[in-house]
Each structure stands twice: as C-alpha cells, then as structure tokens.
Structure 1
Amino acid sequence: MKVVVTIQHPGHVHFFKHAIDELQSQGHEVHVFARRMGVNLDILDAAGIEYEVLAGESDGLASLAKVQATYEARLLARARTIQPDVITAIGGVAAAHVARLVGAESVVFYDTEHATLIKSLAYPFADRVVTPECYDGDAGSAQTTYPGMHELAYLHPERFEPDPSVLDDAALDADDDFVVARFNGWGASHDVGEGGFEDVTEVFDRLEATGAEVVFTSEEPLPDEYQDRRMTVAPERMHDLLYYADAFVGEGATTAAECAVLGTPAVYVNTLTMGYTRELEEAYGLLYNFDGADRHEAAIEQAESILGEYDDAKWAERRERLLDDVVDVTDVIVAEVTGETAPESRLQRAAPT
C-alpha cells in the first residue's frame, strides 16, 4: 500500500511514529508530510522519520486559515503525484479533503470533543473516524472505537521504557521530589474563552513549599525569576521525565494524560475537559480534573495533598488497572490503516476480577 501520514502538532509525531515503523517493516510505502508547529520537526528528526514540510507555523488565529489552506493545497499536489491508498491524520481536515479528491481512503483519529471547527470540517468527509471508547460524542456512521487513549500509542509498555539518565539531563537526582508544570498559550481555535490557573506565582510558591522542585514548560513567557526552573531536556525525552516525576500540575490535557498512563498523578486545570481526562479520573483515579470557578485553589490543594502523602505503590497499582483494560494503540493505528485485524490478544479487554 501507499500511505500518507500528515503531521501538525508535536503530539502527532509520537502518536504515529511506531505505526510508521511497523507499516514500513511490513513493506508499505509511507510518505510523511508536516506543517511546522512548535518542536514537531525536532521530534520527527529525533525519531529518524523522513518527512517533507508543506507549510510554516501560523502566527495566531488570524493567520491560521491561510497557513492551513497552503498546507492543504500542497498536500493535494503531492498526493496527486503519489496516488496513495490511504491518508491518515489526527484531526484530519486536510487528510479527509485531499483523500476525497485523489480517490484515497481517509482514516482520521481524534479524541477532542470540543474542537468543533475541526470536527465540522473533517468528519463529514472522512471514510473512518477512529476514537477512544471514552470519547464523549457521536462521530457518525464512520466512527469506530477502541479501549484506550491516544497516549497509549507511544506510552504503552509495549512501546515505551523509561530511561533514568533523563534525570541527569534535568540536573535532578534519583531521590529528588519534583513536579512537572505546564502552562498553556491559549492560542488554539478551541481555547478561545477558556482558562486555567489564575496566578502562576502562587502555583510555584505553594508547590515548592512542599519541598518539591518544580520544572516547567510554558507556551507563554513567565517572569524572569522562574527561568531557572524551565525544562531543559530534549523534547523527545519529555516522557522519560514525566515517568519519574512525582506529579504533574498543568493546563495541557495531553501532558496530563501522558502522565496518568505512566502512573504519575496528574492535576489538570482547564475549563475544558475531555472524555479521556474524565475516564482517567473516574475509572482509575490517575488524573484530577479541575474546570470550575474554584479550579485554581482546588487544584493546588490537590497537588499539595498528593505531594504531602506520596505513595508510589498506590499510583503503580492504579496504572496496572488501567493497563489491564486498554490496548496498544499502535496496533489499532496499523489495523485501521491496512484494513487488517489487530492482534486479538492486545485488543481483548481483560476479564473482570
């Protein structure tokens, strides 16, 4: 088969990287196209994936439509040359449109219910929309589901083994207590009117008062006094660091879910919640959603509680319960793209105990 994979967000690289490798190892011809966004090209390079850049990064919502149109037009031109059998993506606006025009099948993966613009532009044109079972919405007759979350395409134990040397890169010792914090830029189309923490200074002060070190990543500039806490590890090593952290506190849903599936308790602070963040809280107790008017104070108090009575065995047991119920999502990706059946042993839920 000829397969086109389109990449926009850095997280899309992680989601598809193992599937790309497996598809190529099966003899399929895989073409990867990207739009520059954040560190996504750095992660592609680190993963050893060959790719072609079709468009640059947008400068906020005002230029997003123009950049997206450029990306879609160039993808169409390349697809007409390649004549792929399948075009796949997360979100998949360009993938679904271009596939229709070149006679390819489009396979769209998605997990973000509130991204109404993307859904309205992609879902009606997609041949298949693949979502987690916990997705809170109806994607129409093209929808198929699987037990799990996107993050299990690259953080399932079949795909990920943490490397403790990341602690040296982060200037941390093995016995250090530390928290990873993430602050959003609120520039995405689905972030308009939403919010997270009210006072970043209080977040740092109260978390550090527990005795934990705080390392952070932020899409917005923070005061100079915090720059010595900015994360310094390479983007492709972020998940190693998340595994060894004592907790995550932040406004990014993907990073919160990544921590949760790794067994690192996650405090997610955002007026937007998703089906997968709610499932990770309600079914497994690995993530705490704070989306109400009191989210700032309530989230900090929860983080203080986690750090004050940290019990590694408790979080490990909760992670094992999760892993008993979910699948290696890379198997799902490969199966959906090729039209084959994923390995039964990995797609079968564990029997209740």
Structure 2
Amino acid sequence: MKIWIDITNAPHVRFFKDIIEYFKNEGEDLIVTGRKFGDIHKLMDMYNIDFESIGGHGVSLEDKLKTSTERLNNLVDFIVGEKIDVALSKHSIELPRVSFGLSIPSLYVLDNEHAQAANKLTLPLCDRLIAPQIIDVWKLLSYGMDPNDLIRYDGTSEIMHFKNFEFNENIFNDLNLDLKFPKTILMRPEPSLASYLDADCRHSVLSPVVETLKKYANILILPRFKEQAEIFEGIENVTILHPPVDTSSIIKKADLVIGAGGTMNREAAILQTPVISCYPGIPLSADKYYINKDLMFRINDTDEIINKALKLLVAPKKHIQINHDNLFKLIVDNVYDLAK
C-alpha cells in the first residue's frame, strides 16, 4: 500500500511522526510532503522523516492564494505518477484538492472549526473526516461536509504528540539555560501569519505580560518566526528558544505556560502543566475541552493574566485524570479501510 501524507504546519510534524514510523514498520510505502513554513524542515530533520519539500506559505491574502495555487500545481506533478492508495493530512489546503482531482481516497484530520477559508476549500472534498466530539457538528456541516463522512472522538489531536513521549528531566541543563529564578514560565506568541487571525507579526499580546513577569520568574519564549523573536530580544531574564528543541520536555519541566496560540496550550494541559490561554481570537472548541476540565485558564486582560500567573506559580500542582479515545488507532484503521 502506498500512503501520501502532507505536512503543512510545524505542530503536524509531531502529530504524524508516530503514524509515519508505524506505517514504515508495517512495510507500507510512504510519501511525505511538506512546505517551507516555520520550523517544518527543522522538525522533519529532528525526527528523521524523509520528505519532499514543495511550495511555501504566503503572508498577504494575495500571497496565500498564489502560493497555494502554485503548490497545488507542483503537488499534482509530483503525485500523479505515484499510484497512491490513500492520502492523509491535517488541515492541509492542497492535499484534499489534489486527492479529489486524482481520485485518491483521502482522510482528513481537523481540530480548527474557525479556519473558515481552509475548511470551505477542503471539507467538501474529503472522503473521511476525523474531528473532536466537542466541535459543533453543525459548524462543520456549514462548510459543506457530508455528515456520513464524519468520525468523532473524545479528546484533541495533541494526544498524538505524546504516544511515545520520554520526558527529559535535564532539558534545561541540556539547553544551557541561564535561569536566575526558581520558577520558569514558557510563553508562545500568537500565530500572526495564520489566515484565521488578524494580527501584526511585529507585535505580540505577550509583551506587557513579559515586562511584569520577568521580575518574578525566568521567561522562555518560543517564537514562530524571526519577526516574533525580535520582539523579545535583549529583555532581561528572557531567553529566546531556537527550534528544533524538545518542546514537550520544556513544557513539562516549566512551572507555567502562557500561550497566545493553541497547540502548545493544549499540550501543556495534557502534560498537566498549569496553562493560561490568552489567544486573541475566538477560542477553539479544542481549547474549551481542557478549559471545561480545569486544565486550562482562558484570560485576555493583561492584569488578570499577571495576577493569575503569580498565583499559579506558588500553588501546588494538582493532577486531573483525563481519558481520551485512541486517536492513533482511529487514524490507522481508517487509512487501511479507505485503501481497500
């Protein structure tokens, strides 16, 4: 069986790494494609994933349209002669369109119901869709999805990131971090270049939070791109992390996570590290999943973020049991089923 996996965002590398390893061990023929965007290439190399880099990512709407169209054409040229049995992606714009056009069965994993443009372009073309139960099915139907193609599960996609996770207790020492305070906060800026968020990539909602909390704790910043790193350069007690790094161990080792995005916040919730979400857009249902379980705090007011952070830094950690469905098995089973 020949499987095509398209990886178009950095967190998707961690999502698919164990799936890729599994299919390889089963003797399946794999073709992995990616694009030049964020840390995708570095993470692919970090996890020893063989891939073909095709296309990139635009900034403006015009750039996004042109870049996606060009990537679509190049993917068609690359895939057309490969005799693919089944295609698999998570929020790839191009894979469902190429698969539909070439009559390749496709499995699509979704966790962002607010990505309107992406969902309208892809959901009607997918043969099967896997999405968290907490997402309103009517929202997905509004994008043109066939309800008979939907498979729902209890949990969020980030559970895939930790299937074979081994915690490195010495991660801070391995990174040679100069930590002056006993407490450490990991921060992740907002996804400024995403089509679903109207934000300036040269400013961050985290800036005023950093200015205050740097007096009480070590601040680690994991930027998404160069312009975000420049926002926080030269600030006392602030360390900018340069990917690729073992983010999972950093999250678990940290005393608190403050994130203006989504993936890392949900990873923190799964790892039971206290996390404050200050995402400047409408929160995803995937975030609400952990907010409802008291594993994530949703705050947008700067003063409230700071006050809550100071309280969480001194509060004892409490463990909350959560039981997810087996998303890994769900994906594997559906890939084989579609390839029949």
The TM-score normalised by the length of structure 2 is: 0.88
Contact 2:89 2:95 (C-alpha < 8 Å) held by counterparts: yes
1:179 to 182, 185, 203: 185
Partners in 1 of 2:29 and 2:236 — Cα distance?
A: 44
224-233 or 94-103: bigger deviation: 224-233
44-53 or 85-94: bigger deviation: 85-94
* 1:161 counterpart = 2:166: yes
Specify the code of the residue in structure 2 equivalent to 1:162. F
Partners in 2 of 1:114 and 1:254 — Cα distance?
A: 15
253-262 or 168-177: bigger deviation: 168-177
Specify the code of the residue in structure 1 equivalent to 2:336. T
Contact 1:16 1:330 (C-alpha < 8 Å) held by counterparts: no
Contact 2:205 2:260 (C-alpha < 8 Å) held by counterparts: no
Partners in 1 of 2:20 and 2:180 — Cα distance?
A: 34
* 1:190 counterpart = 2:196: yes
Specify the code of the residue in structure 1 equivalent to 2:3. V
Structure 1 pair 201/236, CA: closer, same or farther in 2 (3 Å)?
closer
Q: Using the TM superposition, give the Cα deviation of residue 339 of structure 1 relative to its aligned residue in structure 2, in angstroms.
A: 2.1
Partners in 2 of 1:170 and 1:260 — Cα distance?
A: 26
Structure 1 pair 84/233, CA: closer, same or farther in 2 (3 Å)?
same
* Identity between Structure 1 and Structure 2 (%): 20
Q: Using the TM superposition, give the Cα deviation of residue 290 of structure 1 relative to its aligned residue in structure 2, in angstroms.
A: 2.5
Specify the code of the residue in structure 1 equivalent to 2:53. V
Superposition pairs for residues 1-353 of structure 1, below 5 Å?
A: 1-138=1-138, 139=140, 140-141=146-147, 142-155=149-162, 158-168=163-173, 169-171=175-177, 176-192=182-198, 200-209=206-215, 211-219=216-224, 220=228, 221-226=230-235, 229-232=238-241, 234-270=243-279, 271-282=281-292, 284-291=293-300, 295-309=301-315, 311-312=316-317, 314=318, 317-318=319-320, 321-322=321-322, 325-339=323-337
Contact 1:134 1:275 (C-alpha < 8 Å) held by counterparts: yes
Cα deviation digits, residues 227-285 of structure 1 (max 9, x gap): 76233354241111011111111201111111111111110002320111111011x21
Say which SS state the counterpart of residue 3 (structure 2) adopts: strand
Structure 1 pair 170/238, CA: closer, same or farther in 2 (3 Å)?
farther
Contact 1:242 1:259 (C-alpha < 8 Å) held by counterparts: yes
Q: Using the TM superposition, give the Cα deviation of residue 91 of structure 1 relative to its aligned residue in structure 2, in angstroms.
A: 1.3
Specify the code of the residue in structure 2 equivalent to 1:164. E
Cα deviation digits, residues 206-237 of structure 1 (max 9, x gap): 3234x321111234231543276233354241
Structure 1 pair 189/102, CA: closer, same or farther in 2 (3 Å)?
same
Say which SS state the counterpart of residue 190 (structure 1) adopts: coil
Cα deviation digits, residues 13-72 of structure 1 (max 9, x gap): 111110011011112111001111111011001111110011134344331111111111
Structure 1 pair 145/194, CA: closer, same or farther in 2 (3 Å)?
farther
Structure 1 pair 286/183, CA: closer, same or farther in 2 (3 Å)?
same
Partners in 1 of 2:325 and 2:208 — Cα distance?
A: 39
Task: Give structure 1 stretches of 5+ with no counterpart.
Answer: 341-353
Contact 1:135 1:276 (C-alpha < 8 Å) held by counterparts: yes
Q: Using the TM superposition, give the Cα deviation of residue 79 of structure 1 relative to its aligned residue in structure 2, in angstroms.
A: 1.8
Structure 1 pair 36/75, CA: closer, same or farther in 2 (3 Å)?
same
Contact 2:187 2:259 (C-alpha < 8 Å) held by counterparts: yes
RMSD over aligned CA atoms reads: 2.4
Structure 1 pair 81/186, CA: closer, same or farther in 2 (3 Å)?
same
Q: Using the TM superposition, give the Cα deviation of residue 194 of structure 1 relative to its aligned residue in structure 2, in angstroms.
A: 9.6
Say which SS state the counterpart of residue 218 (structure 1) adopts: coil
Say which SS state the counterpart of residue 73 (structure 2) adopts: helix
Structure 1 pair 144/172, CA: closer, same or farther in 2 (3 Å)?
farther
78-87 or 118-127: bigger deviation: 78-87
Say which SS state the counterpart of residue 134 (structure 1) adopts: coil
Specify the code of the residue in structure 2 equivalent to 1:186. S
Greater fraction of residues in helix: 1
Structure 1 pair 194/285, CA: closer, same or farther in 2 (3 Å)?
farther
Q: Using the TM superposition, give the Cα deviation of residue 329 of structure 1 relative to its aligned residue in structure 2, in angstroms.
A: 2.7
